[in-house]
């Protein structure tokens, strides 16, 4: 079933514009994740297979576990090559905006450059409340990932036969990482049909899972072990688990960037736990990650007490208190917040 957001007449119009364009840029969002890198590269390879040259630009660097994807070498980073990127934006004919729906999501400075550009803008995205800045807006807020939308873009254009292992790897990676390995409610039968089709076109899913997830170092696992052994508090009366780490504890464990990524999900995986919190000391501030299941709006709790926000089941916040004081504040405020939800 074709996704109705990709109307054939719109696609024909867009490809007419592309055929008359010299400089075509494809942007992803700040702090690029698997969907940002996967969807932009998939589109880049697809356009390339149709004889259309383009350039992928990301605001800043992306995690090492995404570097195996074909085409990552050719990505320009605004933080590393600001002049080159600025020049390209000035002469751009078409700018694709993938996996974000307001231009500020690429960062302040780069966002202003995009705003000033009179290139034809195209948005392909799945986030809520899209801004109205693009001549071509392809937004589906029910979709699990932008990578799935890129597949459907190709499908609607009648080009599925052009999907090879290279394009398939990028799409599969975007879907995999944005769905927590096909587990979030946003996954539909269509998502699995797409995964099946990608595998039939050469994607080796087991290798991608290894590349993305089997990236632990002994040091990271030891830090996780320490955290769970010494810093995990389970509050069964409110189905909540809290973990925390101070700067000193992280230094003692030779913690590197990204080591604590996913720790909060481990806390959420405890049987019976529906809210998980990770409190972590950063340079001048204490950062808090919230995760929840079902309709517990952790973004609202974070907004109320920690000036944060995010999604209903995944939110962030910050605190000027110490780590212990922050944990105490959460333990004090969370019970009444959760209690009023059921009323
Ligand atoms: Mn996404």
Quick one: 164 and 269 in the same domain? Answer: no
pLDDT above 80 (res 11): yes
pLDDT above 90 (res 233): yes
CATH number, domain containing residue 236: 3.10.310.30
* CA 215 – ligand 1 centroid, Å: 21
Quick one: 83 and 187 in the same domain? Answer: yes
Quick one: 209 and 227 in the same domain? Answer: no
Q: Which of 213, 236, 259 is the last residue of a domain?
A: 213
Q: Is residue 2 part of a domain?
A: no
User: What are the pLDDT digits (tens) for 171-197?
Assistant: 999 999 999 999 988 999 999 999 999
User: What are the pLDDT digits (tens) for 76-135?
Assistant: 999 999 999 999 999 999 999 999 999 999 999 999 999 999 999 999 999 988 999 999
User: What are the pLDDT digits (tens) for 262-321?
Assistant: 899 999 999 999 999 999 999 999 999 999 999 999 999 999 999 988 888 889 999 999
What local confidence, expressed as pLDDT, does residue 73 receive?
Answer: 97
Q: How many domains does the chain have?
A: 2
* CA 147 – ligand 1 centroid, Å: 7
- 317 φ, ψ (degrees, to nearest 5): -165, 180
Q: Six-digit token pair at 173?
A: 């990676």
Q: Which of 213, 242, 276 is the last residue of a domain?
A: 213
* CA 191 – ligand 1 centroid, Å: 14
CATH number, domain containing residue 156: 3.90.1640.10
User: What are the pLDDT digits (tens) for 18-42?
Assistant: 999 999 999 999 999 999 999 999 9
* CA 20 – ligand 1 centroid, Å: 29
* CA 114 – ligand 1 centroid, Å: 20
Angle between helix 146-156 and helix 189-200 axes, rounded to 10 deg = 70
Average pLDDT over residues 229-248: 98
Structural domain that includes position 206: 8-213
Q: Which of 155, 187, 213 is the last residue of a domain?
A: 213
* CA 247 – ligand 1 centroid, Å: 31
What local confidence, expressed as pLDDT, does residue 97 receive?
Answer: 98
* CA 53 – ligand 1 centroid, Å: 24
* CA 337 – ligand 1 centroid, Å: 29
Contact by Cβ (8 Å): 253, 219: yes
Quick one: 12 and 147 in the same domain? Answer: yes
* CA 31 – ligand 1 centroid, Å: 12
* CA 12 – ligand 1 centroid, Å: 25
What local confidence, expressed as pLDDT, does residue 308 receive?
Answer: 85
* CA 145 – ligand 1 centroid, Å: 5
Task: Give the residue among 339, 341, 342, 319 at the shortest CA–CA distance from 330.
Answer: 319
Quick one: 306 and 332 in the same domain? Answer: yes
Q: Is residue 3 part of a domain?
A: no
Within its chain, how far is the Cα of 162 from the centroid?
A: 26
Quick one: 260 and 142 in the same domain? Answer: no
* CA 100 – ligand 1 centroid, Å: 8
Quick one: 176 and 241 in the same domain? Answer: no
The sign of the CA dihedral 74, 75, 80, 84 is positive
């Amino acid at each position: 079933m074709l996704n109705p957001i990709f109307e054939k007449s719109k696609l024909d119009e867009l490809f007419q514009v592309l055929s008359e364009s010299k400089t075509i840029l494809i942007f992803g969002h700040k702090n690029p994740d698997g969907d940002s890198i996967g969807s932009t590269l998939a589109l880049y390879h697809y356009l390339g297979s149709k004889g259309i040259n383009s350039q992928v630009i990301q605001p800043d660097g992306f995690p090492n576990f995404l570097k195996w994807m074909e085409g990552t070498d050719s990505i320009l980073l605004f933080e590393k090559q600001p002049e080159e990127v600025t020049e390209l934006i000035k002469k751009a004919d078409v700018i694709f905006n993938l996996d974000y729906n307001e231009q500020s999501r690429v960062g302040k400075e780069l966002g202003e450059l995009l705003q000033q550009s009179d290139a034809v803008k195209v948005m392909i995205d799945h986030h809520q409340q899209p801004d109205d800045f693009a001549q071509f807006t392809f937004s589906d807020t029910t979709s699990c990932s932008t990578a799935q939308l890129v597949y459907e873009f190709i499908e609607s254009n009648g080009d599925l036969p052009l999907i090879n292992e290279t394009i398939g790897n990028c799409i599969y990676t975007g879907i995999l990482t944005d769905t927590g390995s096909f587990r979030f409610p946003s996954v539909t039968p269509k998502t699995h049909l797409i995964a099946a089709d990608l595998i039939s076109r050469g994607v080796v899913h087991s290798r991608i899972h290894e590349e993305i997830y089997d990236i632990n170092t002994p040091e990271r696992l030891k830090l996780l072990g320490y955290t769970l052994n010494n810093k995990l508090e389970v509050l069964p009366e409110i189905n909540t688990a809290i973990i925390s780490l101070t700067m000193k504890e992280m230094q003692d464990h030779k913690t590197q960037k990204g080591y604590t990524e996913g720790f909060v999900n481990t806390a959420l995986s405890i049987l019976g736990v529906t809210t998980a919190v990770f409190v972590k000391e950063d340079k001048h501030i204490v950062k808090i990650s919230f995760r929840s299941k079902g309709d517990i709006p952790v973004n609202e709790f974070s907004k109320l007490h920690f000036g944060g926000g995010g999604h209903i089941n995944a939110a962030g916040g910050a605190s000027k208190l110490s780590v212990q004081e922050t944990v105490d504040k959460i333990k004090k405020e969370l019970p009444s917040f959760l209690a009023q939800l059921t009323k």
